[in-house]
Structure 1
Amino acid sequence: MKNKELLTVGELAKLMDTTVRTLQYYDKEGLLKPSHRSEGGRRLYTKKDMVQLHQILSLKYLGFSLEDIKNKLICIDNPDDVVEALNSKEEALKSQIEKLSEALSAVQSLRDEVLVIHEVDFNKYADIIALLRQKNDGYWVIKYFDNKLMTHIRDRFGERPEFGMSIFQKWKSMCDEVVLLKNQKETPEGNKGQELAKQWWSLVMDFTGGDMSMLPELMKFNNNKQAWTQEMKNKQLIADEFIGKALEIYFKNSGVKSTFSEEEFNELSNKS
């Protein structure tokens, strides 16, 4: 082959918009060996080498690793094998896109929460991140919990984050049920209303672990609805009236009232 048909490493790099160092690395790794060398040992490439480099750079752009290109793709000539490899890469890219989309959503959500918290509190940031990683859409409630409530949550659910997540989902579900019962003209004293009151109180006990000192903290959280998500704010406003009346009747009938003072009972019934 005539020398004018050969390309030096610098010429090939310039033509293919890559670097000499890249071509040297491809040579070292056995990915693209120059077809010729000069008497002085300089790398010389043919037009066929240039086509192979184009293939490497194209596949690298598509997201294939150099190891994949070296071991699987460069040597295959069967179109079906190429399609199979591309299909596999497509699925991998879709998975990466999904994960990146989730990460982007988490970053945006955390940013919004930080703006509302309006203070540097890395403990709350960490708790929000943990809930976001669990795909728990209740992450927003964290910013309304004071230190006492947050300490209780970490102590009670630190080793069982899935349990804490299930409590939030139950709360949402029961709020939905309250709305449904109201729409169906059910009353707090009816069988369905009383069954829901029983479930609601059971949920409170699951959350508090029986620690009654947590009840005032929950009431403070419930009274601070101004910045809740609009959906939960609307549902809880409906639940407050219905569940308050239902719990008052449930407490009297079940004997729970005897565990509270008259003042505590009235406050709990009115604000639950």
Structure 2
Amino acid sequence: MKQEVINMGKYRAIPEGYMTVGEVAKKIGITIRTLQYYDKEGVFSPSAVSDGGRRLYTDKDLIKLHQILSLKSLGFSLDDIRGRLISLDTPAEVANALNEQATDIRRKIEALADSLTEIEKLKAEVLQIQTVDFKKYADIIVNLQMKNEFYYLIKHFDDETLDHIRDRFDKESGLAFMNKFNRLSDEVMQLQKDNVPPESERSQHLVKEYWDMIIEFTNGDMSMLPKLMEIGNFDGTKNEWEQKQALANTYLEPALEIYFSKLGVNPFGEETK
């Protein structure tokens, strides 16, 4: 902004319509040093400078300063702010500037609301884990940021199983696996609702797909099965998803026994004859 020099002559009075840097700082509630820094960085310069070198500001400058402080509070750097400042020469431009600020604030509110939700959920998990386990905390945070609604299952896994999951799945494949798991669980629930016998072809076809999914998860490591069975035993369930899995397990257990019997194998022990 081009600055004009005001010749104050022999008097010290501030010309009408102008404010000193101290007055601006007091009105807006920031320090003089901050205003001087903004001037040095070329983000917010005074409209005029007196012969004595005093920075002088107008009411229009206050509106621009409000833009800057609003954007600063939203996390924008001074470099970002330079490119976002809007001219304030017409009512439409002022309204546009305010609209931009409102949009940025709404985004910030949404982000803060998400952060607050994540913090509250993490706090609940920390209290349930009951031991300080930063590795699990980190996994929970990552899954919360992924919007994975099954983040709370992490507390049920031991370190070895979690290491396996980290090595076996990334964000995309992990979410795809959970979607597949939920689809099969819903189909199991439907079989149960329709009173389809566990030994039926329809049931056994679904059980095979379910077992193939277990093999996919373990990558063929049968030593993981006891841990998965322990995790899947949702005693004292507290949410709808776990209640659904507990009900599905009452159907899956006999259906899996029939499936293994037909194959002549026992995945939890030696091959049967």
**TM-score between both structures, scaled by the size of structure 1:** 0.78
Tell me which amino acid in the other structure corresponds to 2:211: W
Q: Report the identity percentage.
A: 39
2:204 to 174, 177, 194: 194
Q: What's the counterpart of residue 56 of structure 1?
A: 64
Q: Residue deviations 1:55-86, cap 9 Å, x none?
A: 12332354376667766646442444444444
Aligned pairs for 1:1-272 (under 5 A) are 3-6=12-15, 7-28=19-40, 29=42, 31-38=44-51, 41-43=52-54, 45=56, 49-63=57-71, 73=85, 75-157=87-169, 160-223=170-233, 225-226=234-235, 228-253=237-262, 255=263, 257-258=264-265, 260=267
Instruction: State the superposition RMSD in angstroms.
Output: 3.0
Q: Number of paired residues?
A: 255
CA distance in 2: counterparts of 1:147 and 1:226, whole angstroms: 21
Q: Structure 2 vs 1, CA of residues 21 and 172 (structure 1 numbering), >3 Å: closer, same or farther?
A: same
Task: Find the residue that maps to 1:4 and give its secondary structure.
Answer: coil
Q: Residue deviations 1:28-50, cap 9 Å, x none?
A: 32623252414xx24153xxx33
Farther-moved stretch of structure 1 (167-176 vs 199-208) = 167-176
Which portions of structure 1, spanning 4 or more consecutive aligned residues, are displaced by more than 6 angstroms?
A: 261-265
Q: Structure 2 vs 1, CA of residues 263 and 182 (structure 1 numbering), >3 Å: closer, same or farther?
A: same
Q: Residue deviations 1:184-225, cap 9 Å, x none?
A: 3323223432222122101111111111111111111122x2
Is the 1:197–1:246 Cα contact (8 Å) retained in structure 2? yes
Unaligned runs of 5+ in 2: 1-7
Give the CA deviation at 1:229: 3.9
Task: Find the residue that maps to 1:258 and give its secondary structure.
Answer: coil
Give the CA deviation at 1:117: 0.8
Give the CA deviation at 1:87: 3.8
CA distance in 2: counterparts of 1:69 and 1:126, whole angstroms: 33
CA distance in 1: counterparts of 2:47 and 2:268, whole angstroms: 90
CA distance in 2: counterparts of 1:4 and 1:209, whole angstroms: 82
CA distance in 2: counterparts of 1:227 and 1:247, whole angstroms: 24
Task: Find the residue that maps to 1:137 and give its secondary structure.
Answer: coil
**TM-score between both structures, scaled by the size of structure 2:** 0.78
Tell me which amino acid in the other structure corresponds to 1:237: A
Give the CA deviation at 1:118: 0.7
Farther-moved stretch of structure 1 (229-238 vs 1-10) = 1-10
Tell me which amino acid in the other structure corresponds to 2:54: R
CA distance in 2: counterparts of 1:236 and 1:30, whole angstroms: 58
Q: What's the counterpart of residue 4 of structure 2?
A: none
Q: Structure 2 vs 1, CA of residues 4 and 69 (structure 1 numbering), >3 Å: closer, same or farther?
A: farther
Give the CA deviation at 1:227: 5.5
Q: Residue deviations 1:239-270, cap 9 Å, x none?
A: 112111222222233x2x335477888xxxxx
Q: Structure 2 vs 1, CA of residues 238 and 75 (structure 1 numbering), >3 Å: closer, same or farther?
A: closer
Q: Residue deviations 1:85-105, cap 9 Å, x none?
A: 444444333333322222222
Give the CA deviation at 1:168: 2.5
CA distance in 2: counterparts of 1:75 and 1:173, whole angstroms: 54
Tell me which amino acid in the other structure corresponds to 2:220: G
